[in-house]
Amino acid sequence: MLDPRHILITGASSGLGAALAAAYAAPGRRLSLAGRSAERLSAVADHCRDVGAEVEAAVLDITDPVAMADWMVRIDKTAPLDLVIANAGISGGTYGGSESEAQVRAIFAANVDGVLNTVLPVLPLMEARRRGQIALMASLAAHRGFPSAPAYCASKAAVKIWGEALRGQLAPHGVAVNVIMPGYVKSPMTDANDFTMPFLMSAQRAASIIRDGLARNRARIAFPWPMTMIAWLLGTLHPALTDPLLRRLPKKR
Protein backbone atom coordinates (compact mmCIF):
# COMPACT_ATOMS: atom_id res chain seq x y z
CA MET A 1 0.00 0.00 0.00
CA LEU A 2 1.33 3.41 -0.97
CA ASP A 3 1.21 6.03 1.79
CA PRO A 4 2.24 9.45 0.44
CA ARG A 5 3.43 12.13 2.84
CA HIS A 6 3.62 15.13 0.47
CA ILE A 7 0.67 15.42 -1.90
CA LEU A 8 0.02 18.02 -4.58
CA ILE A 9 -3.51 18.55 -5.86
CA THR A 10 -4.61 20.96 -8.57
CA GLY A 11 -8.17 22.21 -8.81
CA ALA A 12 -8.31 22.01 -5.01
CA SER A 13 -10.54 25.02 -4.41
CA SER A 14 -13.82 23.18 -5.02
CA GLY A 15 -15.53 19.94 -6.01
CA LEU A 16 -13.52 16.76 -6.23
CA GLY A 17 -10.20 18.55 -5.69
CA ALA A 18 -11.39 20.00 -2.38
CA ALA A 19 -12.75 16.60 -1.36
CA LEU A 20 -9.42 14.95 -2.18
CA ALA A 21 -7.57 17.53 -0.10
CA ALA A 22 -9.86 16.79 2.84
CA ALA A 23 -9.48 13.04 2.33
CA TYR A 24 -5.69 13.23 2.54
CA ALA A 25 -5.48 15.84 5.31
CA ALA A 26 -4.02 14.35 8.49
CA PRO A 27 -1.21 14.94 10.97
CA GLY A 28 2.15 14.18 9.36
CA ARG A 29 0.92 14.98 5.86
CA ARG A 30 1.96 17.95 3.76
CA LEU A 31 -0.51 19.23 1.16
CA SER A 32 0.36 21.57 -1.70
CA LEU A 33 -2.91 22.84 -3.12
CA ALA A 34 -3.52 24.88 -6.25
CA GLY A 35 -6.75 26.48 -7.39
CA ARG A 36 -8.25 29.47 -9.15
CA SER A 37 -10.41 30.92 -6.37
CA ALA A 38 -8.36 32.47 -3.58
CA GLU A 39 -11.33 32.59 -1.19
CA ARG A 40 -12.45 29.00 -1.69
CA LEU A 41 -8.87 27.69 -1.72
CA SER A 42 -8.15 29.46 1.57
CA ALA A 43 -11.19 27.80 3.15
CA VAL A 44 -10.08 24.35 1.97
CA ALA A 45 -6.54 24.97 3.24
CA ASP A 46 -7.82 26.13 6.64
CA HIS A 47 -9.95 23.00 7.02
CA CYS A 48 -6.97 20.77 6.19
CA ARG A 49 -4.79 22.62 8.71
CA ASP A 50 -7.48 22.24 11.36
CA VAL A 51 -7.19 18.45 11.14
CA GLY A 52 -3.41 18.54 11.42
CA ALA A 53 -2.01 18.73 7.90
CA GLU A 54 0.71 21.14 6.85
CA VAL A 55 -0.63 23.10 3.88
CA GLU A 56 0.69 25.43 1.21
CA ALA A 57 -1.96 26.95 -1.04
CA ALA A 58 -1.26 28.76 -4.30
CA VAL A 59 -3.63 30.57 -6.63
CA LEU A 60 -2.34 29.45 -10.02
CA ASP A 61 -3.40 29.15 -13.65
CA ILE A 62 -2.62 25.58 -14.70
CA THR A 63 -2.33 26.70 -18.31
CA ASP A 64 0.75 28.79 -17.40
CA PRO A 65 3.69 26.38 -17.78
CA VAL A 66 6.30 28.73 -16.31
CA ALA A 67 4.32 29.54 -13.17
CA MET A 68 3.42 25.89 -12.62
CA ALA A 69 7.00 24.67 -13.08
CA ASP A 70 8.41 27.36 -10.78
CA TRP A 71 5.94 26.50 -8.03
CA MET A 72 6.31 22.74 -8.31
CA VAL A 73 10.10 22.72 -8.36
CA ARG A 74 10.18 25.05 -5.35
CA ILE A 75 7.83 22.98 -3.21
CA ASP A 76 9.58 19.76 -4.22
CA LYS A 77 12.85 21.22 -2.91
CA THR A 78 11.13 21.97 0.40
CA ALA A 79 9.88 18.39 0.70
CA PRO A 80 10.01 15.85 -2.15
CA LEU A 81 6.59 15.25 -3.70
CA ASP A 82 5.28 11.72 -3.19
CA LEU A 83 1.97 12.07 -5.05
CA VAL A 84 0.85 14.55 -7.69
CA ILE A 85 -2.87 14.56 -8.55
CA ALA A 86 -3.49 16.45 -11.81
CA ASN A 87 -7.15 17.06 -11.06
CA ALA A 88 -7.95 20.53 -12.40
CA GLY A 89 -10.06 20.77 -15.52
CA ILE A 90 -13.07 22.41 -17.09
CA SER A 91 -16.11 21.25 -19.00
CA GLY A 92 -18.38 22.54 -21.73
CA GLY A 93 -20.81 21.32 -24.30
CA THR A 94 -23.23 22.05 -27.09
CA TYR A 95 -26.23 23.35 -25.12
CA GLY A 96 -26.09 26.70 -26.92
CA GLY A 97 -25.17 25.20 -30.28
CA SER A 98 -21.91 23.93 -31.70
CA GLU A 99 -18.82 24.47 -29.56
CA SER A 100 -17.03 27.66 -30.50
CA GLU A 101 -13.34 27.74 -31.33
CA ALA A 102 -12.70 29.66 -28.10
CA GLN A 103 -14.53 27.03 -26.04
CA VAL A 104 -12.72 24.11 -27.66
CA ARG A 105 -9.32 25.72 -27.19
CA ALA A 106 -10.06 26.63 -23.57
CA ILE A 107 -11.09 23.06 -22.74
CA PHE A 108 -7.98 21.57 -24.34
CA ALA A 109 -5.76 24.20 -22.70
CA ALA A 110 -7.05 23.32 -19.22
CA ASN A 111 -7.63 19.59 -19.56
CA VAL A 112 -4.59 18.63 -21.64
CA ASP A 113 -2.02 21.42 -21.37
CA GLY A 114 -2.94 21.89 -17.71
CA VAL A 115 -2.22 18.22 -17.03
CA LEU A 116 1.08 18.40 -18.89
CA ASN A 117 2.05 21.52 -16.94
CA THR A 118 1.31 19.67 -13.70
CA VAL A 119 3.13 16.45 -14.55
CA LEU A 120 6.13 17.32 -16.69
CA PRO A 121 8.00 19.49 -14.15
CA VAL A 122 8.02 16.73 -11.53
CA LEU A 123 8.69 13.68 -13.71
CA PRO A 124 12.48 14.07 -13.94
CA LEU A 125 12.64 14.72 -10.19
CA MET A 126 10.73 11.53 -9.38
CA GLU A 127 12.70 9.51 -11.91
CA ALA A 128 15.98 10.74 -10.43
CA ARG A 129 15.04 9.56 -6.93
CA ARG A 130 13.27 6.46 -8.31
CA ARG A 131 10.03 6.96 -6.40
CA GLY A 132 6.80 8.90 -6.68
CA GLN A 133 3.26 8.66 -7.99
CA ILE A 134 1.35 10.57 -10.67
CA ALA A 135 -2.47 10.50 -10.82
CA LEU A 136 -4.22 11.85 -13.92
CA MET A 137 -7.88 12.86 -13.82
CA ALA A 138 -9.56 11.51 -16.94
CA SER A 139 -13.24 10.55 -17.11
CA LEU A 140 -15.54 7.73 -18.20
CA ALA A 141 -16.28 10.08 -21.11
CA ALA A 142 -12.81 9.17 -22.39
CA HIS A 143 -14.20 5.84 -23.65
CA ARG A 144 -16.39 7.43 -26.33
CA GLY A 145 -16.91 10.81 -27.97
CA PHE A 146 -20.32 12.17 -26.99
CA PRO A 147 -21.94 14.70 -29.36
CA SER A 148 -23.08 16.71 -26.34
CA ALA A 149 -19.48 17.50 -25.26
CA PRO A 150 -16.94 16.79 -28.03
CA ALA A 151 -13.98 18.77 -26.70
CA TYR A 152 -14.38 17.50 -23.15
CA CYS A 153 -14.51 13.85 -24.25
CA ALA A 154 -11.51 14.27 -26.55
CA SER A 155 -9.42 16.03 -23.92
CA LYS A 156 -10.11 13.32 -21.35
CA ALA A 157 -9.33 10.60 -23.90
CA ALA A 158 -5.93 12.21 -24.45
CA VAL A 159 -5.27 12.20 -20.70
CA LYS A 160 -6.36 8.56 -20.40
CA ILE A 161 -4.16 7.28 -23.20
CA TRP A 162 -1.14 9.33 -22.13
CA GLY A 163 -1.47 8.10 -18.55
CA GLU A 164 -1.77 4.46 -19.56
CA ALA A 165 1.33 4.75 -21.72
CA LEU A 166 3.27 6.62 -19.03
CA ARG A 167 2.51 3.88 -16.51
CA GLY A 168 4.38 1.32 -18.57
CA GLN A 169 7.17 3.74 -19.39
CA LEU A 170 7.84 4.86 -15.83
CA ALA A 171 7.28 1.65 -13.85
CA PRO A 172 10.91 0.50 -14.34
CA HIS A 173 12.01 3.86 -12.91
CA GLY A 174 10.05 3.42 -9.68
CA VAL A 175 7.31 5.95 -10.56
CA ALA A 176 3.67 4.84 -10.41
CA VAL A 177 1.09 6.34 -12.78
CA ASN A 178 -2.66 5.98 -12.29
CA VAL A 179 -5.58 7.05 -14.49
CA ILE A 180 -8.73 8.17 -12.67
CA MET A 181 -12.00 7.80 -14.56
CA PRO A 182 -15.03 9.00 -12.59
CA GLY A 183 -18.60 9.07 -13.72
CA TYR A 184 -20.89 11.84 -12.52
CA VAL A 185 -19.58 13.44 -9.31
CA LYS A 186 -21.48 16.28 -7.62
CA SER A 187 -19.43 19.44 -8.08
CA PRO A 188 -19.78 22.96 -9.51
CA MET A 189 -19.03 21.38 -12.91
CA THR A 190 -21.95 18.96 -12.77
CA ASP A 191 -24.25 21.44 -10.99
CA ALA A 192 -24.52 23.19 -14.37
CA ASN A 193 -26.16 20.10 -15.90
CA ASP A 194 -29.94 20.32 -16.03
CA PHE A 195 -30.48 16.67 -16.96
CA THR A 196 -30.62 13.48 -14.91
CA MET A 197 -27.12 12.16 -14.16
CA PRO A 198 -27.17 8.39 -13.54
CA PHE A 199 -25.36 7.14 -10.43
CA LEU A 200 -24.40 10.66 -9.34
CA MET A 201 -22.22 10.41 -6.24
CA SER A 202 -20.89 12.86 -3.70
CA ALA A 203 -17.40 14.30 -4.08
CA GLN A 204 -16.52 12.86 -0.67
CA ARG A 205 -17.44 9.31 -1.75
CA ALA A 206 -15.52 9.72 -5.00
CA ALA A 207 -12.46 11.01 -3.13
CA SER A 208 -12.54 7.96 -0.86
CA ILE A 209 -12.64 5.61 -3.85
CA ILE A 210 -9.76 7.46 -5.51
CA ARG A 211 -7.62 7.51 -2.37
CA ASP A 212 -8.09 3.75 -1.93
CA GLY A 213 -7.30 3.05 -5.59
CA LEU A 214 -4.15 5.16 -5.48
CA ALA A 215 -2.98 3.45 -2.29
CA ARG A 216 -3.34 0.12 -4.09
CA ASN A 217 -1.61 1.52 -7.20
CA ARG A 218 -4.46 0.53 -9.50
CA ALA A 219 -3.73 1.28 -13.14
CA ARG A 220 -7.26 2.52 -13.80
CA ILE A 221 -9.57 3.83 -11.09
CA ALA A 222 -12.96 3.83 -12.83
CA PHE A 223 -16.28 4.18 -11.03
CA PRO A 224 -19.14 3.64 -10.44
CA TRP A 225 -19.09 0.19 -11.99
CA PRO A 226 -22.49 0.35 -13.80
CA MET A 227 -21.47 3.57 -15.58
CA THR A 228 -18.03 2.11 -16.21
CA MET A 229 -19.52 -0.85 -18.03
CA ILE A 230 -21.92 1.34 -20.05
CA ALA A 231 -19.17 3.76 -21.10
CA TRP A 232 -16.80 0.91 -22.00
CA LEU A 233 -19.51 -0.82 -24.04
CA LEU A 234 -20.36 2.37 -25.93
CA GLY A 235 -16.68 2.69 -26.82
CA THR A 236 -16.45 -0.84 -28.20
CA LEU A 237 -19.63 -0.90 -30.28
CA HIS A 238 -19.61 0.25 -33.90
CA PRO A 239 -20.64 3.91 -34.39
CA ALA A 240 -23.44 2.78 -36.69
CA LEU A 241 -25.08 1.28 -33.60
CA THR A 242 -24.26 4.01 -31.08
CA ASP A 243 -24.51 7.25 -33.08
CA PRO A 244 -28.33 7.29 -33.31
CA LEU A 245 -28.59 6.81 -29.54
CA LEU A 246 -25.92 9.33 -28.59
CA ARG A 247 -27.39 12.02 -30.82
CA ARG A 248 -30.51 11.92 -28.63
CA LEU A 249 -28.67 12.58 -25.38
CA PRO A 250 -29.40 15.91 -23.64
CA LYS A 251 -27.06 18.77 -24.43
CA LYS A 252 -24.39 19.66 -21.90
CA ARG A 253 -24.04 23.26 -20.79
Return the active site residues. Answer: 152
Q: Which amino acid is at 37?
A: S
Q: Which amino acid is at 179?
A: V
The whole-angstrom separation of Cα 123 and Cα 116 is: 10
The whole-angstrom separation of Cα 240 and Cα 107 is: 28
Q: How many helices (H) and strands (E) does the chain have?
A: 11, 7
The whole-angstrom separation of Cα 253 and Cα 241 is: 25
> Could you count the other beta carbons within 10 Å of the beta carbon of residue 210?
26
> Could you count the other beta carbons within 10 Å of the beta carbon of residue 54?
16
Q: Which amino acid is at 136?
A: L
Q: Are 27 and 50 in contact (CB under 8 A)?
A: no
The whole-angstrom separation of Cα 136 and Cα 134 is: 7
